[in-house]
C-alpha cells in the first residue's frame, strides 16, 4: 500500500470513530438529562429512598408514611402559593421592563410573557394512598 492510501484510511477510520463516540455520548447525555429533569418520585419514592437510606423498620416506615400523609395538604397549599408568586413576580418584572422598551419590543416581550405564563407549573406530587 502506498502512503497516501494509508493516510486516507487512517483519516477515514478516525472520522468513523469520532461519529461513533459522538453518537454514544449524545445517547448518554440524553439519558442523563431525562433522569435529571424527570419529575420528583412523590411520597412513595421518598419513602422507599428513606427506607433504604435509613434502614427503616416496618414500624418506622408506617410512621414516616403517616407523617407524609399528614403534611401533604400543606405541600399542596405551598405549591399553589408558589405558583401565584411565580406569576406575579414574572409579570411585575415584565411590566417594569416595558418602560424602557420600544413599542415593537413591548409586543415581543408580551408574547414572551404569554408564552412563559402558559407553561404548566409542575404539580405537587400525588397524595399517598391512605393506610388500610
Per residue, the 3-state secondary structure of 46-92, as one string, reads: HHHHHHHHHCCCHHHHHHHHHHHHHHHHHHHHHHHHHHHHHHHHHHH
Higher pLDDT, 11 or 131: 11
Kindly tell me if the per-residue pLDDT of 121 is higher than 80. no
pLDDT grade for 41, boundaries at 50, 70 and 90: low
**pLDDT grade for 114, boundaries at 50, 70 and 90:** very high
pLDDT of 102 > 60? The answer is yes
- DSSP state at residue 12: H
Q: How far apart are CA 132 and CA 21, in angstroms?
A: 52
Amino acid at each position: 500500500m502506498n502512503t497516501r492510501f494509508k493516510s486516507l484510511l487512517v483519516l477515514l477510520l478516525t472520522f468513523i470513530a469520532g461519529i461513533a463516540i459522538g453518537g454514544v455520548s449524545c445517547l448518554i447525555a440524553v439519558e442523563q438529562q431525562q433522569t435529571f429533569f424527570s419529575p420528583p418520585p412523590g411520597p412513595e419514592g421518598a419513602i422507599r429512598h428513606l427506607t433504604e437510606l435509613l434502614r427503616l423498620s416496618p414500624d418506622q416506615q408506617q410512621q414516616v408514611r403517616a407523617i407524609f400523609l399528614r403534611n401533604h395538604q400543606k405541600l399542596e397549599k405551598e405549591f399553589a402559593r408558589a405558583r401565584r408568586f411565580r406569576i406575579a413576580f414574572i409579570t411585575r418584572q415584565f411590566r417594569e421592563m416595558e418602560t424602557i422598551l420600544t413599542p415593537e419590543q413591548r409586543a415581543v416581550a408580551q408574547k414572551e410573557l404569554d408564552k412563559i405564563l402558559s407553561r404548566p407549573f409542575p404539580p405537587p406530587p400525588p397524595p399517598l394512598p391512605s393506610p388500610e
